[in-house]
Structure 1
Amino acid sequence: MHTTSAAGGDRCTVTVCRGCCCGSTEVHPDVNHAALVTDLGDRLGSRASLRVTGCLWVCGAANVIVVSPGADARRSGARPVWFARILRPKENAAIATWVHAGGPGRAPLPKLLEQHLTLPFRRRRKQVRLTSPDA
C-alpha cells in the first residue's frame, strides 16, 4: 500500500473496494485482482493515498474504486467520484493520470472513465426508495 505525506494538503485518496464481490475470482475469474491493486499503487506513486477497504455495497458493479478529492478541493466543492467495473490496467492508467492532473474538482474526467461512473451506495439506496411502489 502506498501512503506518503500530502504535498500541499490537497492529495487525493483512492479507495479500492475488496469486499465480497470486488476482487473476487468468482465474479471475475480472468482478472488478477492483486496485480491490479499493485499496478494502481505504482501508477499513483506519492501523488495520492491508496486505501484498500472492505465492501462498499455496490456489488453489482465490481470492481469499485472511489477517488476522493484532497482537502483543498473538497472545500471548493469537489466530491468523491465512484467508478465501476475497473478491471484492466488501462483503466488504472486513466485514474492515475487524472489524479496526477488534480482529480475531482481540479481536472476534467478522462473520456475512458466516463463509462465507468457509478453512484455511491447511499444514493443508489435513496433512488430505490424513491422509485419503489412501496415507498
Structure 2
Amino acid sequence: MSRAKKTRRRPAPPPDACGLTVCHGCCCARDGYGRRDAEAVERLDRFRAAAAAVEGTVTVANCLGPCADADVVVVRPSALGRRDGGRPVWLCRVTDVEADLVIAWVEAGGPGAAPMPELLATKVFVPARRHREELEGH
C-alpha cells in the first residue's frame, strides 16, 4: 500500500503583498557566452529581499518566452490589487535601472494598488497567450 506524499504548502501571502516572477532560463540572466550573469543573480537577490520586506513572493521561472527581449520580469498584483483591477504586468529587457523601479513599485503595492513608474511603460509587453496561461496556472 502506498502512502500519499505530503506536500508542504506555503502560507498565503498577505492580501496586500504583490509578487514577482523572474525569468532565469536559457537566455535571461545569461551573459553573451551563455553563462549565468552575475548582475542578474544580484538583481534576483534584490527582488527577493524587496518581496520579503512586504511578505510577497518571488517565483523563478525557467523560461517566460520572449528570449530576444531578455531579461523578463512579471509583476503580479496582490489579492487586493487584483480586486481593484490590477493585472500581471510583463516587462522586458529589465536591467538594474528598471529593477530599482520594479522594487519601488513592489514596495508601494504593485499593480492595482500603486501607479506603475512612468519609465517602466516602455518595457511593458503582451506575452504570447500560452505564456500568460502557464503563469496564471490554466
Regarding TM over 0.5, the answer is yes
* Percent of aligned pairs with the same amino acid: 37
Q: Aligned runs of 1:1-135 on 2, under 5 Å?
A: 6-7=13-14, 9-26=15-32, 32-47=39-54, 48-88=56-96, 90-122=97-129
* Counterpart-to-counterpart distance in 2, 1:112 and 1:96: 13
Count of matched residue positions in the alignment of Structure 1 and Structure 2? 120
Q: CA deviation at 1:69?
A: 0.5
* Counterpart-to-counterpart distance in 1, 2:125 and 2:106: 18
Q: Deviations over 1:91-115 (max 9, x none)?
A: 2111111111111011111122112
Q: CA deviation at 1:28?
A: 8.2
* Counterpart-to-counterpart distance in 1, 2:11 and 2:29: 24
* Structure 1 unaligned blocks of 5 or more: 125-135
Q: CA deviation at 1:123?
A: 8.2
8 A contact 2:84–2:113 mirrored in 1 = no
3-state SS in 2 of match to 1:118:
coil
* Structure 2 unaligned blocks of 5 or more: 1-9, 132-138
TM-score if structure 2 supplies the norm length?
0.74
* Counterpart-to-counterpart distance in 2, 1:49 and 1:27: 30
8 A contact 1:4–1:49 mirrored in 2 = no
